[in-house]
Structure 1
Amino acid sequence: MTEPRGASQEALIALPEKRRSPAKGAPEQAGDRPVARILVDSPLPHLDRPFDYLVPASMHEDAVAGCRVRVRFAGKLTDGFLLERAAASEHEGTLLFLDRVVSPEPVLTPEIAALARAVADRYAGTMSDVLRLAVPPRHAKAEAEPPAERVPGLETPPAGHAWAGYPIGESFLTALREGRSPRAVWCALPGTGEDGPSWPAAVAEAVRAALAGGRGALVVLPDGKDVALLDRALTGVESAGVRKRGTSDGTAGEHVALTADLGPAERYRRWLRVLRGEVRAVIGTRAVAFAPLRDLGLAVLWDDGDDLHAERLAPYPHAREILALRAHHAEAGLLIGGYAMTAEAAQLIASGWAKPLIAGRDTVRARAPRVRPAGEDAELARDEAARAARLPSLAWRALKQGLAHGPVLVQVPRRGYLPALACQHCRAAARCAAATPPGPCSGPLALRGGHAMPYCRWCGRIAGEWRCPACGGVRVRASVVGSRRTAEELGRAFASVRVTTSGRDGVQATVGSAPALVVATPGAEPVPDGGYAAAVLLDGWALLGRPDLRAAEETLRRWLNAAALVRPGAEVVVLADGGLPVVQALLRWDPVTHAERELGDRAELGFPPATRMATLTGSPAAVREMLGTLVLPAQAGVLGPVPVEGEQERAMIRVPRAGGAELARLLKGAEGVRSARKADLVRVQVDPLELI
């Protein structure tokens, strides 16, 4: 094993293992390229580099680039990936031999290895952390199965009309068919038909255009519900070919669908089909961004503003940035689509890296629903019609008229029954008084049902004897109403109509065309047959009032996603002030102008994506020590540190966009020094989704 090449003298003292002399009876090394460069599975930043080992002659055939191996590292057997074989090593001491080859399957392709390295450098992380996200765990039984028969390419079916409403839509498809690499930010048209929303058909046509150009395609979607919609659309497109091969198991024709709910074995089996080149297209959730697809021609990201695209594990990459890096390195096309547009997507257009793919205004007006604001929720107290079901007269009429023609949607931002309570007398927030050292719990009280006792959402204790510390009152009122309580209220108001809910506790994928009240939280709206006849978007204040940099952008995205499921010309009522810019963007169905304004405001204030920002979170001493050792560029600014949850502190470092790579390099180096010295580590996040 070799020392890290180019390491400082301080880093050398943290080598995981001392040099060893050859042991008696050591195996004979391979005659051809006996040195294997191994990336060991270690999260420590100062060990984020290849180490050299010798390949025994007995493993010469199996030790191929990209395979999984086991090596002795720091006195323990450790997993790793064999990156390459070499004829010699720069290490002057004695090298250790590989312990064994776990599998000769080359699961880490050169393209994915380069992408993982680029993502790690982009987010100041380690390559081994990225590879945990990119390469699924091994299942030996799936690897031992013989390769599936290669599905021959289907003749391209006739072009559909999914892109007919976009002035440059056909040009985009033509570029893909010709093997070129167009990059576009796409604002999808609203509306649903007999087969559901129109965007899956448009994505399916783009995928088929890339395949017709002789290259592969991958599509990253927020959740399994969207994967199922696109899987059905792709199956229908493939079935339009000469040889009908449409199935519904996510492995139809030339594509596979990868989601976490498949289970580890089936997911790995499908992933191997992609690796072995048995399919040319793959769809799935955020991990699919690393799918080992051969000759990538098109990468698609749907609804890039959805927080499900942001990885929760280190180094916290976003699927949009992964696909942008991959499209750049592979010289592939990129399509970032959604009903809304994020400031990051607007930045890609402003920089000239991508082109806008937007429908004409006449087409948008013809396809969009009719949106009307109903003012602030405070007006409900003055509205007689609101007393029955927390709805103003305008929303009440919209629901009543819509139910005469089909299902109607009610979007509620909060799940649960009553997720927040307040004192009935003085309106002070009701909090838990249970003793939890070093002080009272102080968690928010909530109700699970109409006959339940208040409980603490933090510690779970029942607060049956709660008393307001401000006025002494013992009665509580709802300060936030959840989806289940809303469904209960609507059920009483519309006693003859079926009420169904969809949310975290149970997501409904579809709903029929019969009249029904559908109460759903954002992102869990069922897809209706033929579209909703009306919709009401409740509690706009709960979305817009969040202390979040992306509050307005995220609110518009949630509203547009729900309103897009409504029939063209049908009524959508939003309970929010019609004078707000975000509400005006919804009324005009104009996400582009809102995204451009959002980008301009952030540039003026120095927020991402106009700048690059990193956060350092850890103990106060560790954060301040790391800040003290960093030699930041002249244009860098440090905000904080300030206290955050628990006893930790957080500091933010802001640099111009051009200095983002340098900032990530400096943070990675500082992390490496701290880990080599076994100091308390600081969590580093580059361009985090939440800043406030």
Structure 2
Amino acid sequence: MTDDGQLDLGLPSPPVPKPAAAPRKPPPEPAPDLPVARVQVDTGLAHLDRPFDYLVPATLHEAAVPGCRVKVRFAGRQTDGFLLERVAQSEHEGTLAPLAKVVSSEPVLAPEVLDLARAVVDRWAGTVGDVLRLAIPPRHARAEAAGRLEAADAELPALDPDAWPTIGGGASYLAALRDGRSARAVRSVLPTELPAEVVAHAVLAALHAGRGSIVCVPDASDLARWDSAFTEVLGRGRHVVLSAAQGPAARYRAFLAASRGDVQVVLGTRAAAWAPVRDLGLVAVWDDGDDLLAEPRAPYPHSREVLLTRAHEQEAGVLLAGHARSAEAQALVASGWCVDLSADDPVRRAAWVRPEVTDGSSHGSAPARLPAEVFAAIRGAEGAVLVQVPRRGYRASLSCQACREPARCSACAGPLVQLASKAQLVCRWCATPAPDWTCPHCGSPRLRAPVVGQLRTAEEYARAFADHEITTSGGDSVLTDVEPGHRIVLATPGAEPHVAGGYAVIVLMDTWLALGRDDVRVTEEAHRRWFNALALAAPGGRAIAVGDPGSLQALVRADPVGLAHRELEMRRETHLPPFGRLATVEAVPEVLGPLAERDWTPNTEVLGPVAADPRDPTVQRLVLRAPRSEGPALSAALREVVAERSAAKQTSVRVQVDPLTF
């Protein structure tokens, strides 16, 4: 019918012709030689963590070099990848997709770094893609196009055979590095020595053999001091600084300097452990027990273990140096893989300041937080005073004054804290304010602070020592250096600033609190921080530790090696790393249930599951403990679980092998 009601007898409209399909592009002409590229595609999926073959077009023949960055078509979109190698033919029976683009012909993935990445994947149950994101910094085009570094000083400084005068066997170790041998040692550094210079002399010995070095320090704030010392010992232009804290251009420029062979020495934080140094002759780590050397991103490798793996694969020397000593370093000595380079007992004890230990009590009175010995020492100090406080913040823990029950948040049951003077109470977990708190157990509104931070302690010291300048360091305000003078520096562990000439007095506050954490490494970690603080004392300085004398004997005897030996024996008895392999798996309860029943290795113990985080009861943790000999099999089984869940598009699980804490 038409609009006016008449019958429409017209013929139907002819069909609209479909547009002709665009002619298919002919496949590109393959490269004349080695036309197949093996590419590690950054898929982010564990079950696809393997190389894929692509065709190298003739137009990209010159640009597509092994180790360069490329883009390929994967799952319908362009994806980043690294060209691993070029081969004559592929095992794939179908038609190969061509490389979409060569991002840059700069070979940034060295073969030895690829081998290291695969070893790390096998050890930490990760993926090659995750490891390469740690190893290779993002590209910076302007840095890549910039010229090469300035040439180094013409003549390499002479090696001083007496560079380590306090250490028996030190000259033999340096001579072995100078001769190109893979000497391995754990070195105890005395407070009278400059750590950067100690390590720099070992690097210089390796340079005399024509071999390169990688040196890792935990904290980026120390790099300026180490950079200056390396320039003084090695000469200008022989090393670069590589750290994730650098800007993108500076970091990539330093990476390229090592990759291109412009320098043979890389100094940096954990990012430097992956540097593509040519002819690697020495890997060195300062203070290897510091948790800053543990990578917080998957697969969570530790820089010490990464560098030890490199040393084994590339036949390089090893130097683990520090004021304190980790159980892992002591295990290398006990196994005979590393030699122990320590000063004789009289030299060691004379070099360390011997702390006086007090529990804070006087003539039978109750213990005081600021004992009389501390007051007297600070009053008589002729120089700067360092006070190490184990917690940052203001009042870091609160409880009821009447019944001593912990003060908890009414919303999530988290701990209440006070962040500053006259600030209202807030929950540490959910940040909910609690302005009108009363104890739910006894009804009292009064609070006490069993644990106070460095800010509250600073107020107490300011009232007690009005004639001193009070300086704080910790949290978001960490100082690297302070001027000498009539001042008191209150710092949290690891945030102690340096002062020229050293501190006249060092006070270790609340040592009981540092030893009270629920952690298998608590004794080792607390003593590491204390030894590092005592090493900042001036010659002839004084130290006071507030705590239990029986718990601080390693400090009194200046014996970090003996403490490491005892910690190692404890690990042996409990089958903890380095004697066993430990892995944690975190996921929701319905996922962990079947994993707890899974067959892992013949002797794997399954512990848990337990709550992974009290703030989030929906996430639980499973702990797997296996003998060291079954470590590779356990890691392979964990990788298989992750890949299975990835292929099935199921909820992911978080896997961590040998975590520092669990």
Matches of 2:416 and 2:245, distance apart in 1: 33
Calculate the TM-score normalised by the size of structure 1.
0.89
Correspondence 1:413 to 2:381: no
Give the equivalent residue in structure 2 for 1:585.
554
Matches of 1:24 and 1:571, distance apart in 2: 81
Name the SS for the 1:261 alignment partner.
coil
**How far 1:674 sits from its partner (Å)?**
2.0
Give the equivalent residue in structure 2 for 1:635.
603
**How far 1:147 sits from its partner (Å)?**
2.0
Change (3 A) 1:285 1:544: same
Change (3 A) 1:149 1:229: closer
Correspondence 1:423 to 2:400: yes
Matches of 2:240 and 2:41, distance apart in 1: 30
Matches of 1:546 and 1:651, distance apart in 2: 21
**Which of the residues 285, 294, 317 maps onto 2:269?**
285
Matches of 1:384 and 1:400, distance apart in 2: 23
Change (3 A) 1:339 1:183: same
Question: Are the aligned partners of 2:200 and 2:234 in contact in 1 as well (CA < 8 Å)?
Answer: no
Question: Are the aligned partners of 1:674 and 1:680 in contact in 2 as well (CA < 8 Å)?
Answer: yes
Question: Are the aligned partners of 1:622 and 1:681 in contact in 2 as well (CA < 8 Å)?
Answer: no
Give the equivalent residue in structure 2 for 1:28.
29
**How far 1:354 sits from its partner (Å)?**
1.0
Matches of 1:72 and 1:385, distance apart in 2: 70
Question: Are the aligned partners of 2:32 and 2:58 in contact in 1 as well (CA < 8 Å)?
Answer: yes
Correspondence 1:313 to 2:290: no
Give the equivalent residue in structure 2 for 1:555.
526
Name the SS for the 1:260 alignment partner.
coil
Matches of 2:362 and 2:93, distance apart in 1: 79
CA RMSD of aligned residues (A): 1.8
**Which of the residues 394, 414, 419 maps onto 1:448?**
419
Q: Deviations over 1:255-292 (max 9, x none)?
A: 11122332111111121111111111110100100001
Q: Deviations over 1:313-354 (max 9, x none)?
A: 000000011000000111000111111111111111121111
Name the SS for the 1:53 alignment partner.
strand
Name the SS for the 1:262 alignment partner.
coil
Matches of 1:362 and 1:670, distance apart in 2: 54
Give the equivalent residue in structure 2 for 1:41.
42
Correspondence 1:182 to 2:186: no
Q: Name stretches of at least 5 consecutive residues in structure 1 with no aligned partner.
A: 1-21, 192-196, 240-244, 246-252, 434-439
**Which of the residues 323, 331, 341 maps onto 2:307?**
323
**Which of the residues 352, 357, 361 maps onto 1:368?**
352
Give the equivalent residue in structure 2 for 1:334.
318
Change (3 A) 1:272 1:610: same
Correspondence 1:668 to 2:639: yes
Change (3 A) 1:506 1:72: same
Matches of 1:575 and 1:162, distance apart in 2: 37
Matches of 1:259 and 1:39, distance apart in 2: 25
Give the equivalent residue in structure 2 for 1:204.
200
**How far 1:679 sits from its partner (Å)?**
2.1
**How far 1:152 sits from its partner (Å)?**
4.9
Give the equivalent residue in structure 2 for 1:480.
451
Give the equivalent residue in structure 2 for 1:10.
none
**How far 1:670 sits from its partner (Å)?**
2.3
Question: Are the aligned partners of 1:367 and 1:569 in contact in 2 as well (CA < 8 Å)?
Answer: no
**Which of the residues 371, 380, 383 maps onto 1:392?**
371
Give the equivalent residue in structure 2 for 1:12.
none
Change (3 A) 1:88 1:152: farther
Task: Map 1:41-120; keep pairs closer than 5 Å.
Answer: 41-120=42-121
Matches of 1:561 and 1:202, distance apart in 2: 16
Correspondence 1:219 to 2:198: no
Name the SS for the 2:355 alignment partner.
strand
Change (3 A) 1:633 1:462: closer
Give the equivalent residue in structure 2 for 1:134.
135
Task: Map 1:234-273; keep pairs closer than 5 Å.
Answer: 234-239=230-235, 245=236, 253-273=237-257
Give the equivalent residue in structure 1 for 2:509.
538
Matches of 2:353 and 2:510, distance apart in 1: 20
**How far 1:659 sits from its partner (Å)?**
1.3
Name the SS for the 2:549 alignment partner.
coil
Give the equivalent residue in structure 1 for 2:10.
none
**How far 1:569 sits from its partner (Å)?**
4.0
Kindly provide the amino acid, as one letter, of the partner of residue 571 in structure 2.
R
Give the equivalent residue in structure 1 for 2:332.
348
Correspondence 1:601 to 2:570: yes
Change (3 A) 1:599 1:321: same
Kindly provide the amino acid, as one letter, of the partner of residue 492 in structure 2.
T
Question: Are the aligned partners of 1:117 and 1:127 in contact in 2 as well (CA < 8 Å)?
Answer: yes
Matches of 1:103 and 1:627, distance apart in 2: 46
**Which of the residues 582, 589, 595 maps onto 1:626?**
595
Q: Deviations over 1:224-253 (max 9, x none)?
A: 2222221111122235xxxxx4xxxxxxx2
Kindly provide the amino acid, as one letter, of the partner of residue 607 in structure 1.
L
Change (3 A) 1:497 1:177: same
Kindly provide the amino acid, as one letter, of the partner of residue 638 in structure 1.
V
Kindly provide the amino acid, as one letter, of the partner of residue 394 in structure 2.
Y
Question: Are the aligned partners of 1:383 and 1:392 in contact in 2 as well (CA < 8 Å)?
Answer: no
Calculate the TM-score normalised by the size of structure 2.
0.93
Question: Are the aligned partners of 1:371 and 1:573 in contact in 2 as well (CA < 8 Å)?
Answer: yes
Kindly provide the amino acid, as one letter, of the partner of residue 482 in structure 1.
G
Change (3 A) 1:23 1:292: farther
Q: Percent identity?
A: 52
Question: Are the aligned partners of 2:40 and 2:129 in contact in 1 as well (CA < 8 Å)?
Answer: yes
Matches of 1:681 and 1:587, distance apart in 2: 49
**How far 1:160 sits from its partner (Å)?**
7.6
Matches of 1:643 and 1:425, distance apart in 2: 31
Correspondence 1:464 to 2:435: yes
Task: Map 1:2-17; keep pairs closer than 5 Å.
Answer: none
Name the SS for the 2:37 alignment partner.
strand
Correspondence 1:492 to 2:463: yes
Larger Cα-atom Rg: 2
Change (3 A) 1:175 1:23: farther
Matches of 1:381 and 1:539, distance apart in 2: 20
**How far 1:380 sits from its partner (Å)?**
8.0
Question: Are the aligned partners of 2:162 and 2:171 in contact in 1 as well (CA < 8 Å)?
Answer: no
**How far 1:451 sits from its partner (Å)?**
2.0
**Which of the residues 276, 279, 283 maps onto 1:295?**
279
Kindly provide the amino acid, as one letter, of the partner of residue 208 in structure 1.
L
Q: When the two structures are aligned, how many residues end up with a matched partner?
A: 637
Give the equivalent residue in structure 2 for 1:164.
165
Change (3 A) 1:500 1:573: same
Q: Deviations over 1:440-499 (max 9, x none)?
A: 222222222222222222222321111110111112121211001111111111111111
Question: Are the aligned partners of 2:169 and 2:341 in contact in 1 as well (CA < 8 Å)?
Answer: yes
Task: Map 1:641-660; keep pairs closer than 5 Å.
Answer: 641-645=609-613, 646=616, 647-660=618-631
Matches of 1:671 and 1:590, distance apart in 2: 44
Change (3 A) 1:36 1:371: same
Matches of 1:385 and 1:472, distance apart in 2: 28
Question: Are the aligned partners of 1:411 and 1:536 in contact in 2 as well (CA < 8 Å)?
Answer: yes
Matches of 2:517 and 2:198, distance apart in 1: 34
